[in-house]
């Protein structure tokens, strides 16, 4: 009855509102040294109070790969008319070869019948 959701679930934002406001306030009050103090790349501890905001921002949302091949498909459809014409031409060539082989088989049969 209900379709199952197949999109990846996002992780919860693991920082409280108070900690978020504190981190934003510290950054806005001290813009010159904010990035030195809150450098999350130097301190990879997600539980450090000064790093929680940047640690949460570093976690990226899930990637959507469903349409990653769409552009390749669309560029392939641009030359469908050329491919279609080539295939029609090849079919005509195959029919001509088939007719030539049929005629050659009939000639061989007639020559074999004459030799008997």
User: Is there a domain that residue 4 lies in?
Assistant: no
The mean pLDDT of 71-98, rounded to a whole number, is 87
Indicate the pTM of the whole model: 0.35
User: Is there a domain that residue 116 lies in?
Assistant: yes
**What's the Cα-to-Cα distance from 67 to each of 5, 15, 61, 72, 79, rounded to whole Å?**
17, 32, 16, 10, 20
Q: What is the pLDDT of residue 39?
A: 47
Kindly report, residue by residue over 42-74, the tens digit of the pLDDT.
445 555 555 555 555 555 555 666 777 777 777
Domain, as residue range, for 104 = 64-116
Contact 11, 62 (CB under 8 A): no
Considering the domain architecture, whether residues 55 and 81 belong to the same structural domain is answered as no
Contact 43, 50 (CB under 8 A): yes
Contact 82, 40 (CB under 8 A): no
Per-residue pLDDT at 115 exceeds 80: yes
User: Is there a domain that residue 8 lies in?
Assistant: no
Considering the domain architecture, whether residues 43 and 90 belong to the same structural domain is answered as no
The mean pLDDT of 87-111, rounded to a whole number, is 95
In the numeric block, the tokens 């007639």 are attached to 110
Q: What is the pLDDT of residue 46?
A: 52
């Amino acid at each position: 009855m209900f379709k199952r959701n197949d999109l990846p679930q996002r992780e919860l934002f693991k920082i409280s509102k108070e900690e978020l406001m504190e981190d934003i306030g510290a950054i806005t009050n001290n813009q010159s040294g904010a990035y030195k103090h809150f450098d999350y790349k130097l301190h990879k501890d997600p539980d450090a109070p000064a790093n929680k905001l940047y640690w949460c921002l570093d976690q990226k949302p899930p990637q959507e790969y469903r349409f990653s091949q769409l552009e390749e498909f669309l560029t392939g459809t641009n030359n469908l008319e050329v491919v279609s014409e080539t295939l029609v031409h090849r079919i005509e060539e195959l029919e001509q070869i088939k007719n030539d082989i049929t005629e050659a088989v009939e000639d061989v049969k007639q020559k074999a019948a004459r030799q008997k």
